[in-house]
Amino acid sequence: MTTPDLRVSIGSLFLKNPVLTASGTFGYGKEFAPYVNLHYLGGVVVKGISLAPRRGNPPPRIVETASGMLNAIGLENVGLDRFISEKMPYLREIGTRVIVNILGDSLEEYQTLGRRLSEVEGISALEVNISCPNVKKGGVAFGTDPAMAEAVTRAVCAHSTLPVIVKLSPNVSDIAQIARGAEAGGAQAVSLINTLLGMAIDVRSRRPRLANIVGGLSGPAIKPIALRMVWQVAQAVKIPVIGIGGITTTEDALEFLLAGATAIEVGTANFVNPRASQEIVEGLGRYLTDNRLSGISEVIGGLILP
Amino acid sequence: MTTPDLRVSIGSLFLKNPVLTASGTFGYGKEFAPYVNLHYLGGVVVKGISLAPRRGNPPPRIVETASGMLNAIGLENVGLDRFISEKMPYLREIGTRVIVNILGDSLEEYQTLGRRLSEVEGISALEVNISCPNVKKGGVAFGTDPAMAEAVTRAVCAHSTLPVIVKLSPNVSDIAQIARGAEAGGAQAVSLINTLLGMAIDVRSRRPRLANIVGGLSGPAIKPIALRMVWQVAQAVKIPVIGIGGITTTEDALEFLLAGATAIEVGTANFVNPRASQEIVEGLGRYLTDNRLSGISEVIGGLILP
Amino acid sequence: MNKYEEQAEVLRQEQLMPEIFRLTLRAPEIAANARPGQFVMVQTSPGYDPLLRRPLSIHQTIGHDQVQLLYKVVGKGTRLLATMTAGQQLNLTGPLGHGFELAASKAICLVGGGMGIAPLYFLAREILRNTCPPKCVVLLGARTAAELGPLPGNFMDLGVTTHLATDDGSLGHHGFVAELLLQHLDPELKWTVCACGPHPMMKAVAGQCRKQGWECQVSLEATMACGIGACLGCAVPQAELSGPYLHVCKDGPVFKAEEVAWL
Amino acid sequence: MNKYEEQAEVLRQEQLMPEIFRLTLRAPEIAANARPGQFVMVQTSPGYDPLLRRPLSIHQTIGHDQVQLLYKVVGKGTRLLATMTAGQQLNLTGPLGHGFELAASKAICLVGGGMGIAPLYFLAREILRNTCPPKCVVLLGARTAAELGPLPGNFMDLGVTTHLATDDGSLGHHGFVAELLLQHLDPELKWTVCACGPHPMMKAVAGQCRKQGWECQVSLEATMACGIGACLGCAVPQAELSGPYLHVCKDGPVFKAEEVAWL
Ligand SMILES: Cc1cc2nc3c(=O)[nH]c(=O)nc-3n(C[C@H](O)[C@H](O)[C@H](O)COP(=O)(O)OP(=O)(O)OC[C@H]3O[C@@H](n4cnc5c(N)ncnc54)[C@H](O)[C@@H]3O)c2cc1C
Ligand SMILES: Cc1cc2nc3c(=O)[nH]c(=O)nc-3n(C[C@H](O)[C@H](O)[C@H](O)COP(=O)(O)OP(=O)(O)OC[C@H]3O[C@@H](n4cnc5c(N)ncnc54)[C@H](O)[C@@H]3O)c2cc1C
Ligand SMILES: Cc1cc2nc3c(=O)[nH]c(=O)nc-3n(C[C@H](O)[C@H](O)[C@H](O)COP(=O)(O)O)c2cc1C
Ligand SMILES: Cc1cc2nc3c(=O)[nH]c(=O)nc-3n(C[C@H](O)[C@H](O)[C@H](O)COP(=O)(O)O)c2cc1C
Ligand code: FES
Ligand code: FES
């Protein structure tokens, strides 16, 4: 019997399998080395990087909700320079794709990040987080307007030689429209969803449970919404779609692939089961074998409609 | 000790307590009579009524998700005439407010429903479901555009003598803007949230788990999103806000009241615990007593910000 | 019909077969009011996972205050149920829905497939106790003998004629249980057939009965949220295809076969 | 430092006080590598409710393969944990974080408040086994005697001087445990104080130590998602307020008191 073929390509980016880890949930890879053989993964998406280091929000930053969690980390990160000098040496050696998630508060910042990271060895692609507020446009998030999504995509693509994945925010009326904006701007792929804006209150103290008041909802709770959006976007754009949102098991991953995702990212599940990402790679292989399928491409977009 | 004062008013609509039941989760009241003393409730919102009877979607219509459920009932209902002749006689006798949820696929249908129901004895208010597609506008939901939300609100208000509550869809970029549309159209209150659009796939059959492909997500999973939206809307409008979404316990209800809701609706929780609505009424009373508060108005909007 | 919400006490959990369990509960209100073919909604977890109650037929009532369930572990909810042990509490609502209706039938045949056998035991006991018709035959089917376990013996112990069929021939007739109808039912009699099991089995039974002019009642399944007619989730198409949907929890789970669309 | 994910077997569940339990697990990898002050992340449910693992300090290791946890039931996760019985499986990750560091201190004082006592027992045993300093004093506090239960006895059985304080005076000193520092520690000695407990208690202890010029290590708590430095959820402000946040799971849970902002 031949080993199942899990390879996929996201534009010009080839992955040995469609399982990535979601930004902000897998640190810089190293944190999970005790639990996961990193080179088994399709790739690692690192915590979002900005030009300058960011302190993030004051604590408490995390609260659990029904089958999910809210986070208000506030995009804490070590900044571009320390990322390159401190984190990249390790990441270059992990034996799989390294995708760098970037964030900024202006087009210029995104441009600079794209340009600078293109010069760094060992990076396979950029994932552009457009859920951030555009400071120059009164703080409206780039990701809530198709034109702004297109502009930020174009800015990164023009200044970078790396494949660009645009990561979409779900807090919109019509995510397919935003995806088309990213496609028009030159994205090689879109990934979705980022977290849904949520809130929790401690009724004893009468205070928000997060110092930031609101935070991003993730985990199994949001999977149905994420899956619906991935399905809608996969129909709306020609570029590959990467599915994210509550993926915890092989079955979850298969749902997203069937809905049209070419790859998936495992997020919050890494906290619950640190071996989740590797187990999903193994599970997908077993699924192909059990169903006598020659490759994962026979699954992608394979949803049968009534 | 005096009994705690749970009374609230939603515009001109007085409720003995802020606990309502959410449309579509409590039938026409009678179904829950074996479990709940209906007259203990602040009010009952009945299943959405359209002018003509509707068959709804083919089965399967329901699928469970992590801490939630998807439904694609498709607004099955007996239609206005049978509602008035078959359901109202019972509802008139339950000893609490009856709020009729209405839906249509054109402004005219909403108008007619508003006019006809204003002539029926025993109805205290209308709740206008604007998550429905506007057939004349290419099927875009009334609730995704502030101008359309305003128009449908105005249409109902102009033809009805009852207080009008507009029920908002959460599948939008900026729900506060839609709420302002409803306010401008003359709504006495807004209620939110309706269900979030979601999807689930059976990986064995490769088919959607709902015949309708997509459905509405409800239950504890969506509570953080609902609470955030209620908080945003409460700050954006002057009219009262009714909080809905995953409310299962007294604590959940208190979170929404603290965030600024004047009343709440219990939905999916009725399926899990058919006595949930009554238990929340009792729990709120106990909370006031335990905290030596004289009335629920001391809770509403009482969130303390950092 | 009265419905109750009861905090039931687990009295006994028996593992009949690797995946099939029999749970005996003290639930006096439900036991006192239950009719064969009715079901309960069981809260399988105190938390939100799983969230919804699970519908299970009443396998039998014992004495005035006990309810017995027979169930197969197929997913999260039933797996949790199987971990319950004597002394623990389980929240039930019921009895729900409309059961079988046997006026004064002279010849009754019960046809059960897989877990569809669950409600038929209650029905068989009631028939023998009340109407005690001149003819009563039970036909049970499963994929393989191991899936039937002690169930055929339970029916035989009631003293009722019982015939078996397995898809793999490991017990009784080698084939489908519906095929036993023609083998064992005297076509001269006016049978009332009560069937519960997988959809294709019931479709075959309903088809046979129509041909023979026999009355046929079927117990249907559907995914349920409320179990009491409030959510409208459990729709099934009726024979008159353009008419409104039937709702299994309220209009059923037992229907006259001719009311239902056999798609 | 090595970290493991282990399917641990429950060996013993003891209810020490109405809300306080001691759980003994077989978890050989974690037991072999654990240091006092480190913690494990415990998966309290096989499903999604609760979703996240719960951090619990290692109360002690026993032999080469056992880990003991001491915990109070405060919510969903710990309530589920308390239902676990011998023979069941529990998934742990650990040992996590940095523990206490005691180079060659001559005089060591452990200060525990409430469940903060949990890691100190492990620490006390290690101190007695390894460094065995000339002076070692344990100060334990709680709201009331009933909250301490058998814990003071456990420390006394190790042969270490133990002083107690309760907020209500029901046992030992009537007042806060931090007040015992001045009563019982010879100010002439260079004490190393290791504290774990509620934030106000540790703040008071840290303040005393600073005044006396004593070294002070504190074990902090924060809501955690990952426990391994990946999510950045467990931030606490550092002494240099404008500097980056510390992360309890990775930089701690044990910190030098002077690193931390005592707001
Ligand atoms: C009126 C009624 C009476 C019933 N009586 C009994 C009974 O007496 N004994 C019994 O064992 N079962 C009975 N069932 C079926 C039972 O309700 C389901 O098996 C149960 O809800 C599954 O729950 P779960 O959480 O274990 O599985 P889930 O996690 O919900 O589902 C696991 C898998 O099983 C499938 N599944 C879900 N429901 C069913 C179903 N109804 N039949 C087959 N596969 C299903 C799902 O699609 C999924 O793939 C009855 C159902 C109805 C509607
Ligand atoms: C490094 C570390 C080590 C710990 N060691 C121990 C230990 O050895 N023994 C022990 O009993 N506990 C310990 N804790 C605290 C323990 O993690 C929490 O009590 C536990 O996670 C609560 O889970 P739950 O699901 O029962 O409560 P939840 O349902 O999560 O919360 C219930 C209520 O308790 C409150 N709560 C949550 N976490 C805490 C907390 N840390 N302290 C006080 N209240 C809280 C919540 O705000 C909520 O109101 C430790 C925490 C950390 C960070
Ligand atoms: C703690 C935490 C931190 C995150 N940080 C980032 C980030 O820096 N950049 C980003 O694009 N997404 C970030 N995300 C979003 C995730 O990458 C992912 O899109 C989201 O959590 C949904 O997937 P999940 O449900 O599988 O977690 C973060 C999520 C969590 C839970
Ligand atoms: C089965 C079901 C049917 C529903 N039908 C309606 C309806 O007819 N009209 C309406 O406005 N909302 C309807 N809803 C939405 C609920 O009223 C409520 O807004 C939503 O479920 C969120 O609340 P919950 O999480 O408490 O259930 C329905 C929800 C469910 C689960
Ligand atoms: S299950 Fe709700 S109507 Fe039948
Ligand atoms: S808990 Fe995730 S970084 Fe500390």
Least confident of B247-256, C103-112, D202-211: C103-112
Q: What is the pLDDT of residues A187-233, one digit of tens each?
A: 999 999 999 999 999 999 999 999 999 999 999 999 999 999 999 99
D48 and D178 share one domain: no
Cα(C192)–Cα(D212) distance, rounded to whole angstroms? 93
Shortest CA gap A283–chain D (Å): 19
The verdict on residue D88 lying in a domain is yes
Cα(A188)–Cα(A151) distance, rounded to whole angstroms? 15
Residues 64-123 in B contacting A (C-alpha not used; CB under 8 Å): 65-68, 70
Note the pLDDT of residue D1.
Answer: 63
Say yes or no for a CB contact (<8 Å) between D5 and A274: yes
**CATH code for the domain of D81:** 2.40.30.10
D53 and D155 share one domain: no
D32 and D155 share one domain: no
Comparing CA positions, the residue from B87, B84, B99, B74 lying closest to residue B22 is B99
HSE value, Cβ hemisphere, 13 Å, CA-based, for C66: 12
Contacts of B66 in chain D (CB under 8 A): 48
D167 and D40 share one domain: no
Mean pLDDT of A276-297: 96
Among candidates D49, D227, D237 on the partner chain, residue whose Cβ is nearest the Cβ of A66: D49
Q: Does the structure show a pLDDT above 90 at C1?
A: no
Can you spell out the DSSP letters for B135-178? GGGTTEEGGGSHHHHHHHHHHHHHH-SS-EEEEPPS-SS-HHHH
The verdict on residue D102 lying in a domain is no
Q: Does the structure show a pLDDT above 60 at A1?
A: no
Better-scored residue on pLDDT, C132 or D1: C132
Q: What is the pLDDT of residues D36-83, one digit of tens each?
A: 999 999 999 989 999 999 999 999 999 999 999 999 999 999 999 999
Cβ partners under 8 Å of residue D219, min gap 6: D37, D57, D100, D116, D119, D194, D195, D196, D252, D253, D254, D255
Mean pLDDT of D199-209: 94
pTM: 0.97
Q: Does the structure show a pLDDT above 90 at C132?
A: no
Alpha carbon separation from D169 to A190, D100, D174, D175 (Å, rounded)? 63, 30, 4, 7
Q: What value does the mean pLDDT of chain B take?
A: 95
Q: What distance in angstroms lies between residue B55's CA and the mean position of ligand 5's atoms?
A: 15
Strand C246-247 with C235-236, pairing: antiparallel
Q: What distance in angstroms lies between residue B56's CA and the mean position of ligand 5's atoms?
A: 14
Q: Which of D67, D96, D125 is the last residue of a domain?
A: D96
Q: Which of D96, D118, D140 is the last residue of a domain?
A: D96
Comparing CA positions, the residue from A216, C194, B75 lying closest to residue D225 is A216
- The answer to whether B131 and B169 have CB atoms below 8 angstroms apart is yes
- The answer to whether D109 and D120 have CB atoms below 8 angstroms apart is no
Better-scored residue on pLDDT, D128 or D253: D253
Shortest CA gap D94–chain B (Å): 27
Q: What distance in angstroms lies between residue A254's CA and the mean position of ligand 5's atoms?
A: 30
The dihedral sign for the CA sequence B270, B273, B275, B281: negative
Note the pLDDT of residue A2.
Answer: 62
Q: What is the pLDDT of residues D219-259, one digit of tens each?
A: 999 999 999 999 999 999 999 988 999 999 999 999 999 99
* Joined tokens for residue C58: 């009443």
The verdict on residue C102 lying in a domain is no
D227 and D114 share one domain: yes
Show the low-confidence residues of chain B (pLDDT under 50).
Answer: 1
C118 and C224 share one domain: yes
What's the distance, CA B201 to chain centroid? 28
Mean pLDDT of C182-192: 89
The verdict on residue D55 lying in a domain is yes
C28 and C76 share one domain: yes
Note the pLDDT of residue B2.
Answer: 62
Note the ligand closest to the C-alpha atom of A205: 2
Among candidates B208, B221, B258 on the partner chain, residue whose Cβ is nearest the Cβ of A201: B258
Q: According to the CATH classification, is domain A8-57+75-197+219-298 in 1.10.1060.10?
A: no
The verdict on residue D186 lying in a domain is yes
Q: What distance in angstroms lies between residue C94's CA and the mean position of ligand 5's atoms?
A: 13
Mean pLDDT of C15-22: 94
Q: Does the structure show a pLDDT above 90 at D4?
A: yes
Note the pLDDT of residue B229.
Answer: 98
Mutate to test the interface with A, among C45, C48, C76 (most CBs of A within 10 A): C48
Say yes or no for a CB contact (<8 Å) between B56 and C225: no
Mean pLDDT of D141-154: 92
Q: What is the pLDDT of residues A69-99, one digit of tens each?
A: 999 999 999 999 999 999 999 999 999 999 9
Note the pLDDT of residue A4.
Answer: 87
Among residues A132, A166, A178, A254, the one annotated as catalytic is A132
Mean pLDDT of C219-232: 97
Q: Does A139 touch chain B (CB under 8 A)?
A: no
Closest ligand 2 atom to D249 CA:
1
Q: How many CB atoms lie within 10 A of CB D145?
A: 15
Closest ligand 3 atom to A75 CA:
8
Domain ranges for chain B: 8-57+75-197+219-298
Can you spell out the DSSP letters for B244-260? ESS--SHHHHHHHHHTT
- What amino acid occupies position A236? A
Range of the domain at C38: 4-96
* Joined tokens for residue A255: 């749902």
- The 3-state DSSP composition of chain B as helix, strand, coil percent (nearest 5) reads 35, 25, 40
Note the ligand closest to the C-alpha atom of B245: 4
**CATH code for the domain of D122:** 3.40.50.80
| 3-class DSSP state of C223 | coil
- The 3-state DSSP composition of chain A as helix, strand, coil percent (nearest 5) reads 35, 25, 40
Cα(A208)–Cα(A212) distance, rounded to whole angstroms? 8
Q: Does the structure show a pLDDT above 80 at A138?
A: no
- The answer to whether C252 and C39 have CB atoms below 8 angstroms apart is no
Q: What is the pLDDT of residues A158-177, one digit of tens each?
A: 999 999 999 999 999 999 99
Residue ranges of the alpha helices (H) in chain D?
28-33, 76-81, 117-129, 145-148, 151-157, 179-184, 199-212, 248-251
Shortest CA gap C56–chain D (Å): 22
Q: Which residue has the tokens 């009699």?
A: C189
D50 and D151 share one domain: no
Note the pLDDT of residue A221.
Answer: 98
Q: Which of C52, C73, C96 is the last residue of a domain?
A: C96
Percent of chain A exceeding pLDDT 70 equals 99
* Ligand 3 pocket: which of A20, A21, A25, A131 to mutate (most atoms within 8 A of CB): A25
D14 and D35 share one domain: yes
- The answer to whether B104 and B54 have CB atoms below 8 angstroms apart is no
Q: What value does the mean pLDDT of chain C take?
A: 93
Q: What value does the mean pLDDT of chain D take?
A: 93
For residue B290, with 0-12 CB atoms within 10 Å meaning exposed, 13-18 middle and 19 or more buried, which class applies? exposed
What's the distance, CA B110 to chain centroid? 17
- The answer to whether C64 and C32 have CB atoms below 8 angstroms apart is yes
**How many domains does one find in chain D?**
2
Q: Does the structure show a pLDDT above 90 at D103?
A: no
